[in-house]
Amino acid sequence: MIIEPVIKGVVAKTAHPYGCEQAVLQQIQYVKQAKQISQGPKRVLIIGGSSGFGLAARTALTFGGAKADTISVSFERGPSNKGVGSAGFYNNIAFKKNAEKEGRLAINIQGDAFSKSVKDEVVEAIETYFEGEVDLIIYSVASGVRPNPETGEMWRSAIKPIDQDVSGATIMLEDDSWHTSKLKAASNEEAEQTIKVMGGEDWEAWVDRLINSESIAHGCRTIAFSYMGPALTHPIYLDGTLGRAKIDLHQTSHSLNLKLANFEGGAYATVCKALVTKASVFIPGLSPYIIALYKVMKEKGTHEGCIEQMQRLFSDKLYAGNKVPVDCERLIRMDEWELDADTQSKVNTLVDQLNAENFTSLADYHGFKQEFLNLNGFGFSNVNYSEAVDIESFINRTN
């Protein structure tokens, strides 16, 4: 079949297997020539390793100097009569193929990371492949729902402001259009459910499960990814339901740090810069900021994507020495270039100028959409998109 990009609003409904493979290869090529990770971990668990920061972290640690073996958990759709499957499904296949070429273990576990059964399956895999212990646990789960482990009922996140309604613009990738809408303030229940889904509770449940199963190696560390952003985005992000969840995540890092201190390890929330991810395109008001930020940071030569940030995180911060550099709240800051005063001044000026008529020309909307297409395996010049794809052949060829 011919696979073309199909976008509904800000959701990609198709993914191209060979394009996803190309995206993985580009990340591998980058980390091989970047500053190497000289003191990295050897046995890594990534909870949510099929795309975005999780996949980039897995790639950096495997190919960027540490030569780590990895177990990744993800909940991805394979091909069926309902569609061609998700990009993460093909990313997993391509990553495993290339890691095994270089003699690295790459175990892909398909399932709901929130479930007890998947946690049990991971413990068994650690026992089987890692001699029972992990050196690093990366928590990179992006989900809109989470089941209550006691009742099975679903908690659902809500991306909303708190205490007051907020207006913001969303860019529809489907037709390159600008839509302004008003978001009503979240109820207390919506805020609490968002914390349950996107806060630190499940991260702590994972680490507790690994501690209880004696799967924690001496010196083991764990990280989870966060975002804070500048004052411009605070009404919808930091001061909203998402911000409440991230604060809970940050607090969880402190309790986990105390637990891992028993193993001479540590836990850190890692604050990354704003990027195009499958999650970020949903956040109202954030797209105009991102396209302005991309333009300014590319002009200044400070722009980083997921893979550049993850390679720098591990080579310069988390594994650069015995002491991990953190701010006064014990956060690892990867957003320092984004929050540079001159950068933010230029971004604010540009955002003030953007509207429905000029956003494609004044800011870096082209780069924004290109990254979104790349996330789903489209937009690569060396992939022949007019050629029919035999998905079963692709899967069998790369497995």
Going by the annotation, the residues of the binding site for NAD(+) are 48-53, 75-76, 112-113, 141-142, 246, 275-277
Q: Which tokens sit at 230?
A: 């500048």
| Of 272, 301, 303, 317, residue with least CA distance to 370 | 303
* Angle formed at CA 241 by CA 238 and CA 247, multiple of 5 degrees: 55
- What distance in Å separates the CA atoms of residue 107 and residue 195, rounded to the nearest whole number? 30
- What distance in Å separates the CA atoms of residue 335 and residue 48, rounded to the nearest whole number? 21
Annotated catalytic residue within 237, 289, 294, 365: 237
Q: What are phi and psi of 329, to 5 degrees?
A: -100, 15
Q: What are phi and psi of 105, to 5 degrees?
A: -80, 135
Q: Do strands 216-226 and 266-271 pair parallel, antiparallel, or not at all (unpaired)?
A: parallel
Q: Which tokens sit at 55?
A: 């996949």
Which residues, 6 or more positions from 358, have their beta carbon under 8 angstroms from its beta carbon?
none
Going by the annotation, the residues of the binding site are 48-53, 75-76, 112-113, 141-142, 227, 246, 275-277
Residue-wise burial string across 36-75, b where 16 or more C-beta atoms lie within 10 A, e elsewhere: bbeebbbbbbbbbbbbbbbbbbbbbbbbbbbbbbbbbbbb
Which residues, 6 or more positions from 11, have their beta carbon under 8 angstroms from its beta carbon?
none
SS3 93: helix
| Active-site residue flag, 289 | no
Sheet strands (E) in the chain:
7-8, 11-12, 43-47, 69-74, 106-110, 134-139, 145-147, 154-156, 166-172, 177-183, 216-226, 266-271, 331-333
- Catalytic positions are 237
